[in-house]
Homo-oligomer: A and B are copies of this chain.
Amino acid sequence: MAKIQSKKNSTKKEVIIEKASKLFREKGFGAASMRDLAEDVGVEAASLYNHIQSKAEILQTICFKVANEFMTNLEQVESSSQSTLKKMEAIIRLHIRMMLDQYEYIYISDHEWRHLPEPYLSNFLSQRRSYRKRLGDIIEEGIAKGEMKHIDPYVAVLIILSAISGIDSWQRSRKSTSAEALETNMVKYLIEGLKK
């Protein structure tokens, strides 16, 4: 049956993935070894395979967990009845917050997806393409309704997502600017850039 390990209410598999996410971010997926991971978990490398099937599976789990979370949120926003600007703001804020408190996961999903084995790689990229397309559709609608300025929707999506993804280089020097100030300023910049 379900095994409850560790101090928190989390499976050992979850512990492994959590430790792995930190390790993969620090050293990169390729350079992080299963023996490194085992040491972090406090176990021998071979023992990991009682809980996971492969190193790649860890990466898959992380990448698709993140992708699904964003996709679910997008569907909620799409089916809501806010203005297109409010929709984009909601999405931007979610991205920023997830970047702030699920940093490791998001970072890996953003930067290490290249190492996904097929067919997961194609699947992931297709999901990402679809996600961006749907963000672009919201912006397109915003332009059509006169709520947003005339700009290439695809480029706008690129800018917004990349800008948020760049918070990773803030994480390492988080003295001067607080998290709240960061979110406020980013939303201001990114939304003002859309407004007509």
**A36 near B: Cβ within 8 Å?**
no
A144 at the interface (CB under 8 A from B): no
Contact of A170 with B by CB under 8 A: yes
Q: Given the complex of chains A and B, what is the CA–CA distance between A177 and B193 in angstroms?
A: 19
Selected from B129, B185, B186, B193, the residue in CB contact (under 8 A) with A190 is: B193
Q: Considering the chains assembled together, what is the distance between the CA atoms of A173 and B56 in angstroms?
A: 26
Scan residues 108-155 of chain A and give those whose CB is less than 8 A from a CB of chain B.
Answer: 111, 114-115, 129, 149, 151-152, 154-155
Copy number in the complex reads: 2
A151 to B187, CA, bound (A): 11
Contact B28–A189 (Cβ < 8 Å): no
- B residues near A188, Cβ cutoff 8 Å: 151
Which residues on A are within 8 Å of B, measured CB to CB?
A: 27-31, 111, 114-115, 129, 149, 151-152, 154-156, 158-159, 161-167, 169-170, 173, 176-177, 181-182, 185-186, 188-190, 192-193
A173 partner residues in chain B, CB cutoff 8 A: 129
A94 to B27, CA, bound (A): 30
Q: Could you tell me if B181 and A158 are in contact, using CB atoms closer than 8 angstroms? A: no
CA–CA, A149 and B185, complex, Å? 11
Residues of B within 8 A of A164 (CB): 162
Known: A152-B185, A165-B166, A185-B152. A190 touches B28 (CB 8 A): no
Q: What 9 pairs between A and B have smallest CB-CB spacing?
A: A162-B166, A30-B30, A30-B31, A193-B193, A155-B185, A159-B163, A152-B185, A163-B163, A189-B193
- Which residues of chain B have C-beta atoms less than 8 A from A30's C-beta? 27-31
Q: Of all chain B residues, which has the CB nearest A191?
A: B193
Task: Determine the chain B residues whose CB is within 8 A of the CB of A193 once the complex forms.
Answer: 189-190, 192-193
